[in-house]
Amino acid sequence: MKQLKLMNYMKTIETKILLGDSKDILKTIDENSIDLIVTSPPYADRRKNTYGGIKPEKYVDWFLEISKELLRVLKPRGTFILNIKEKAEEGERHTYVIELILALRNQGWFWTEEYVWHKKNSYPGKWPNRFRDAWERCIQFNKSKKFNMYQEEVMVPVGDWAKGRLKKLSETDKIRDNSKNGSGFGKNISNWIGREMVYPNNVLNFATVCNNKNHSAAFPEELPEWFIKLFTKEFDTVLDPFVGSGTTLHVAKKMKRNSIGIDIIPEYIEMIKKEMNE
């Protein structure tokens, strides 16, 4: 054990920053080498010629070329988290995101879950036909039913309701849904007494980033941090194929995870490199 700890201290964390199109750069990465992919790809936008600027009609085909490589580099028990939200245009929500889910399943991915990132602090605002969009999808894909998940790492404090609740358990608590065999539940009542932490659910509350920089941070640090805690352990490797302002790399490094970030915009890559050296 002491030996192991010593070895861990000697291990170094590597943060790779690669410039280029993910479709090409990913081919240089070994297969089955990544524990977690977490990314927020450029959103489809018909009108603008900003970063990415992929047309909604082409979005699925464009993404499948990249996700094909992601499927290759991900470890069998690794996880892929896709943070995305479809735009509203001409009064309608675009369908490219839900079409992408179906297409990724056809490509061989398992659609394990869809988390909701609830952006609590979104500004109030309104349009004639809709309210402010306060949530985004964080869609979880895996290579199979079995994957690594470290649920205890993301437990949260129990709500106030528990303070008085567990002083005395009712008879129905002991036997509920257990009419056939009442022995199993009773043993675990002790686990509840004095419990401070509970498991979270699939709705995540993170504030949005209010950055003053001239580039957009797709998500706040809490978001990749939560998924990195949940799906990796120290010295695992995290990949972000649309690394943008580098949030994923920054968090991974802080949490002692190796990481690889790819982006097609040279200015972003330069900025991340500068920040990482500081």
Partner DNA sequence: GTTCCGCATGAATCGATAG
Partner DNA sequence: ACTATCGATTCATGCGGAA
Residues interacting with DNA, by CB under 7 A? 40-43, 46-47, 83-85, 87-91, 120-130, 132-133, 136, 145, 158-159, 161-162, 164-165, 167-168, 170-173, 176-178, 180-181, 183-185, 187-188, 191-192, 195, 198-199, 207-213, 216-218, 242
Question: What's the burial of 96, exposed, middle or buried (CB within 10 Å: 0-12/13-18/19+)?
Answer: buried
Is residue 206 a contact point for its own copies (CB under 8 A)? no
- CA atoms of 275 and 250, how far apart (whole Å): 9
Contact present, 53 and 113 (Cβ < 8 Å): no
- C-alpha dist (Å) from residue 44 to 122, 134, 159, 214: 21, 18, 39, 20
For 7-47, give the DSSP string: HHHH----EEEEES-HHHHGGGSPTT-EEEEEE-PPPP-SS
Range in contact with its own copies (rule: CB under 8 A) among 26-34, 60-68, 185-193, 252-260: 185-193
209 binds, among its own copies, DNA, none (CB under 5 to 8 A by kind): DNA
Range in contact with its own copies (rule: CB under 8 A) among 56-64, 126-134, 221-229, 233-241: 126-134
101 binds, among DNA, its own copies, none (CB under 5 to 8 A by kind): its own copies
Is residue 23 a contact point for its own copies (CB under 8 A)? no
Q: Which of 149, 169, 265, 276 binds its own copies (CB under 8 A)?
A: 149
- CA atoms of 16 and 27, how far apart (whole Å): 15
* Minimum CB distance to DNA smaller for 218 or for 262: 218
- CA atoms of 43 and 38, how far apart (whole Å): 15
- CA atoms of 149 and 141, how far apart (whole Å): 13
Shortest Cβ 219–DNA spacing (Å)? 7
131 binds, among its own copies, DNA, none (CB under 5 to 8 A by kind): its own copies
Tokens of 40: 């927020």
Is residue 113 a contact point for its own copies (CB under 8 A)? yes
- C-alpha dist (Å) from residue 267 to 154, 272, 278: 34, 9, 17
Q: Which of 75, 77, 215, 253 binds its own copies (CB under 8 A)?
A: 215
- CA atoms of 133 and 124, how far apart (whole Å): 9
Shortest Cβ 175–its own copies spacing (Å)? 13
107 binds, among its own copies, DNA, none (CB under 5 to 8 A by kind): none
Q: Which residues, listed in sequence order, are joined to residue 197 by a DSSP beta bridge?
A: 157
Is residue 163 a contact point for its own copies (CB under 8 A)? no
DSSP summary character for residue 208? P
Tell me which residues touch its own copies (CB under 8 A).
Answer: 43, 45, 47-48, 50, 87-88, 90-93, 95, 98-99, 101-102, 105, 110-114, 116, 118, 120-126, 128-135, 145, 147, 149, 151, 158, 161-162, 165, 172, 180-185, 187, 189, 192, 198-203, 212, 214-216
